[in-house]
Structure 1
Amino acid sequence: MERAAKKTGFTITIVVTIIIVLFIVIFVIDWLPDRKVMPANDIREFIEVAHVEQVDSLTLTRAINLAGSYLSDIMLDNGQFVYRINLDTTVTVKPGYNILRHAGAIYALCMYHDLTGDTLAFETAQKAGKFLTKATIKPVGGKQDLLGVWSLPGILRDKSPPELKLGGTDLGLVALCSLKKLDPGVVSLDTLKKMGNFILYMQKRDGSFYSKFYPYKNGRDDSWTSLYYPGEASLGLLMLYELDPQKKWLEAASKGIDYLDRIRRGREAIEADHWALMASELLLRNFDMKENSEEKEKIINHAMIVCRSMIHAKADFSKISDFHGCLTPDGRTTPTSTRLEGLLSALTYIPLNDTAAIEFILATINDGTEFLLHAQLKDGPHAGAITRGFIPASELASGVFIYGDKRVPEIRIDYIQHALSAWIQYYNLFYAASSRPSLPSQK
């Protein structure tokens, strides 16, 4: 009897304890701040529900206008840009030019004109596009149906023999497709299709690509490989597909992204491939996903792998540091810009039901955007430019630079182009009207 009574008392104690614990849990949950259940219908609704603090729109628009104006201001009479300068007058700037970055500048100027209607940006993009087509686009290996963007010693200002980098034609196609949407007469569709044919000619059966073509050797060459070229190629082909909806462009782009998915699956650290993220946005927009739901899932999963790798590898600067928001430990600006381009594209198609992941991506984007805004030159003859690395205001004012790396005060067209492209993507995604972006221009 005594043992039974003890057992009964013990059982009652356990039951009472469970009831008390449940009451406490319910009470605490009831007093937690209200939070709506995800997913939201779109990223803007997500931000509103999650109370994510965004970059100030006026600060952003000023930066966009300054950068867009600066790119136009450094256009030369022959259609090239002032490629590189250094704010440190004690540094000798080596001559050189990169036609891939020239194409990237055209792409950014087209984005800027599309956003603002800026006439000077449009005229600058036209002029740069004409230089690209007349000076660099030529037949490949005697094949008249193939056109490529050649790296030529007279343009590069070095003694290297002529060669074709796949990336040059990739980004040349991106630039000229962007320009043709604004000015149909600037380049013929036939030229763009022949550039697309060259990219297809450089693609292997597994979806990968030869990176270079040497006219004086054996033609296609893969002794050096860039894992960024497949993403660039896919983006160019998809932009061509929107102008010329032939299935071969879409299928080749899909093969390129599928190749990247296969070689990256299961890896922890992968390339910060913003081009692939941007290409995936267009691929998902143009692919018939009703009949290819598994393909859609693969594309999105690959994008999530790239995004996670970017975020896991990002630098961790304190909030009081001038470098807070920079995504690489070296304090450079452009790696942050390119990662933002990719992450912003990914936000247009990755599922919003993974609340923690989306919030982390948004925080990374906002911090990175603030870092770039902080790094932009605000006044003086180079207002609107972006230097290779962040420079404190005291050094900018004195002109005395204390960093050991003399390239930190360097200004190059791609530093500006990538920051401008990222800022415009940010504005379009979070602030622009759903019908057509609108932003008052300074011009």
Structure 2
Amino acid sequence: MTLGELLASAKPALAATWAECMEASAAGVLFMSVCHGKERAHVVTVRGKNFDEVWRRAAQLLQAWLRKQGGAPIWLRVDVVHTVHAMTWQALKQAFATTKRNYFRHGIAFDAELSVAMLEEEIGAHAVLYDGNFSETTPNAVNLGLYGKYRHGRELHWPTDAQQPVWIFDTRAVFTDGKGLHTIEHQGRNRGYRRLPTWDTDRVRDIAATSTAYLARQVKSSGAYHYGWFPCFDRAIPTYNALRHASSTYALLEGWELTRRPEHKAAIERALDHLTGKLIQRTTLPGGEEAAFLVDIDDEIKLGGNAVCLLAMVKYTELTGDTQYLPLLEQLALGIVHMQDPATGRFVHVLNHPDLSVKEENRIIYYDGEAAFGLMRLYGLTRDPRWLQTVEQAFEHFIAARHWEAHDHWLSYCVNELTLYRPEERYLRFGLDNVRGHLDFVLDRITTFPTLLELMMAAQKMIVRLQADAAHAHLLEGFDIEKFYRALEQRARYLLTGHFWPEIAMFFRNPSRIAGSSFIRHHSFRVRIDDVEHYLSGYVAYWKYLEGGGRPAELQAMREDAVPEK
């Protein structure tokens, strides 16, 4: 693809937008960003009144840069300034103080002509408003200096005078990869990302397949994963987590169930070989039984670690019919049983390896739900009553401890499985209470929080069965079904604001490494295998939901998004 071809694709859409923007602000400022995938996009800024002249000058600047660089561009994004607001540095800092970090969604300029200006995407990709020590938007002097050298050839500095003016601006933009032209949404919850003419089964499948492919590419030849990246500066996350290795492999299996691509299966098998050959250790329990434990860093045995190993290997067994892992599955399950108090049903969360002494009685509630869910999935495969009994004992503790108040997605998965075999009122009520009262949070949460979609998808399966169960349907009295489905569907769409579309990835240090992945915006756009895992699991479940018809027929007419986005 040549720059000329990319420009020809984008120009017609920007001509009308230019007139609209000139009417709104008369700024006449255009940002043109081009990327060949290996390094950050090169951005040029041109100001003027005549669109054709501004376009021509910007194109010339990019052509001159490309001649020096070599290589063909693959992505082009063009932003036109729509609105500009002047404010004092003090007022802007006050706005920062009430904005979650990396959620300041405007460009910033240091002069009225916007000759020294940062697009919103540049601000995020260079971490100039990010300090990991603070939860709110925080100016970063070091990163601003680095950005200034990269973009403007000189260090930039934040103002020191509280009354010094700065300019906040918003743009209208389009993006093209030569295959299609995408208008960038400029308002609402989905602003900053491509407008989608459809949000349907095929679209969700494409996102899930892309995420599967990304996660599969993270599996090295050794079977270990590239654990994750801080993409602003293309830094590898310098640690590892065996639990997340196993849980990400489970999500990869869910994705492969959808794609059935041989390279995805090959990655799964490498990851499982590493899991079973390097990370899981066998041991003899005090009672003489042979058990197995996932051993993590610092020689820790985490309850959740054994659980997600069960999930991955049960899923592999179901999808392939290969029974090689059945003996190991039993040993891992016995390891979980060893960590349960048979009198109360409560689990111990962390042991030391190899002596199995208790390191922490309680660490994180997720381990409880993971353990119960893993055992339920194994019970579904083997029908061994030991695993169902262990889960029912655990639920005695979960109910007594009011664990539903944590709104844990793993507990949602678990109770859905448990009620397949034990549709008892106390378990069904637990499953409803696990989402009841949490719907406003699901609707309004500003972060993507991908496990919320998993929570809702598992609960939806149980609710559908409950509606068809004459003996227990009364439990749904007072439960706002319409609001539940609205929250579920809105959360699924909102997750796309955490997808690394190329129009966002192009501004980061190594775009090709992260394009197609999923990020956590408030952690400096971090991409970690378990981040991708939760997006992927949620979208596979949502795809199945849409394939099954989506909302119940009686609620279809109540959908707010019945009309496709324009």
What TM-score do the two structures reach when normalised by structure 1?
0.69
Aligned to 2:317: 180
Residues 129-278 of structure 1: matches in 2 within 5 Å?
129-140=272-283, 145-152=290-297, 160=298, 162-185=299-322, 187-204=324-341, 205-215=343-353, 219-264=357-402, 270-278=405-413
Q: Which among 433, 438, 459 is matched to residue 346 of structure 1?
A: 459
Aligned to 2:205: 61
Aligned to 1:283: 418
* Rounded Cα–Cα distance in structure 2 between residues aligned with 1:257 and 1:224: 16
Q: CA deviation at 1:304?
A: 1.4
SS of the residue corresponding to residue 347 of structure 1 reads helix
Which letter maps to 1:424? V
Aligned to 2:528: 412
* Aligned residues of 1:129 and 1:179 also touching (Cα < 8 A): no
Which letter maps to 1:88? C
**Structure 1 376/430 Cα, relative in aligned 2: closer, same or farther at 3 Å?**
same
Aligned to 1:303: 431
* Aligned residues of 2:201 and 2:546 also touching (Cα < 8 A): no
Unaligned runs of 5+ in 1: 1-53, 153-159, 290-295, 317-326, 390-404, 435-443
SS of the residue corresponding to residue 291 of structure 2 reads strand
* Aligned residues of 1:74 and 1:81 also touching (Cα < 8 A): yes
Aligned to 1:128: 271
* Rounded Cα–Cα distance in structure 2 between residues aligned with 1:57 and 1:183: 25
* Rounded Cα–Cα distance in structure 1 between residues aligned with 2:363 and 2:321: 34
**Structure 1 388/82 Cα, relative in aligned 2: closer, same or farther at 3 Å?**
same
* Rounded Cα–Cα distance in structure 1 between residues aligned with 2:431 and 2:269: 33
* Aligned residues of 1:141 and 1:219 also touching (Cα < 8 A): no
Aligned to 1:106: 249
- Which has the larger helix fraction? 1
Q: Which among 376, 394, 399 is matched to residue 499 of structure 2?
A: 376
Paired-residue identity, %:
23
**Structure 1 303/55 Cα, relative in aligned 2: closer, same or farther at 3 Å?**
farther
Higher relative contact order (CA 8 A, sep 6+): 1
* Rounded Cα–Cα distance in structure 1 between residues aligned with 2:437 and 2:240: 31
SS of the residue corresponding to residue 88 of structure 1 reads coil
**Structure 1 430/247 Cα, relative in aligned 2: closer, same or farther at 3 Å?**
same
* Rounded Cα–Cα distance in structure 1 between residues aligned with 2:272 and 2:303: 18
Q: CA deviation at 1:122?
A: 1.6
* Rounded Cα–Cα distance in structure 1 between residues aligned with 2:249 and 2:356: 32
**Structure 1 94/428 Cα, relative in aligned 2: closer, same or farther at 3 Å?**
closer
Q: CA deviation at 1:129?
A: 0.8
**Structure 1 342/180 Cα, relative in aligned 2: closer, same or farther at 3 Å?**
same
Q: CA deviation at 1:368?
A: 1.0
Deviations 1:374-412 (A, max 9, x none): 3211235122201112xxxxxxxxxxxxxxx6x322110
What TM-score do the two structures reach when normalised by structure 2?
0.55
* Aligned residues of 2:232 and 2:524 also touching (Cα < 8 A): no
- Which has the larger strand fraction? 2
SS of the residue corresponding to residue 340 of structure 1 reads helix
SS of the residue corresponding to residue 301 of structure 1 reads helix
* Aligned residues of 1:126 and 1:186 also touching (Cα < 8 A): no
The answer to whether residue 219 in structure 2 is matched with residue 75 in structure 1 is yes
* Rounded Cα–Cα distance in structure 2 between residues aligned with 1:88 and 1:312: 32
SS of the residue corresponding to residue 450 of structure 2 reads helix
Which letter maps to 1:201? H
**Structure 1 131/433 Cα, relative in aligned 2: closer, same or farther at 3 Å?**
farther
Deviations 1:66-115 (A, max 9, x none): 111111112111101111112211x7544101111111111111111222
Q: CA deviation at 1:220?
A: 3.2
* Aligned residues of 1:173 and 1:236 also touching (Cα < 8 A): yes
SS of the residue corresponding to residue 292 of structure 2 reads strand
SS of the residue corresponding to residue 458 of structure 2 reads helix
* Rounded Cα–Cα distance in structure 1 between residues aligned with 2:315 and 2:536: 15
Unaligned runs of 5+ in 2: 1-197, 468-475, 503-510, 551-566
Between 1:376-385 and 1:353-362, the stretch displaced more is 353-362
Q: CA deviation at 1:215?
A: 3.5
* Rounded Cα–Cα distance in structure 2 between residues aligned with 1:221 and 1:202: 12
Which letter maps to 2:227? Y
* Rounded Cα–Cα distance in structure 2 between residues aligned with 1:65 and 1:94: 24
Residues 419-438 of structure 1: matches in 2 within 5 Å?
419-432=535-548
SS of the residue corresponding to residue 147 of structure 1 reads strand
Q: CA deviation at 1:430?
A: 2.4
* Aligned residues of 2:442 and 2:452 also touching (Cα < 8 A): no
Aligned to 2:3: none
Q: CA deviation at 1:260?
A: 1.3
Aligned to 1:438: none
Which letter maps to 1:427? W
* Aligned residues of 1:202 and 1:220 also touching (Cα < 8 A): no
* Aligned residues of 1:71 and 1:413 also touching (Cα < 8 A): yes
Q: CA deviation at 1:356?
A: 5.8
Q: CA deviation at 1:271?
A: 1.2
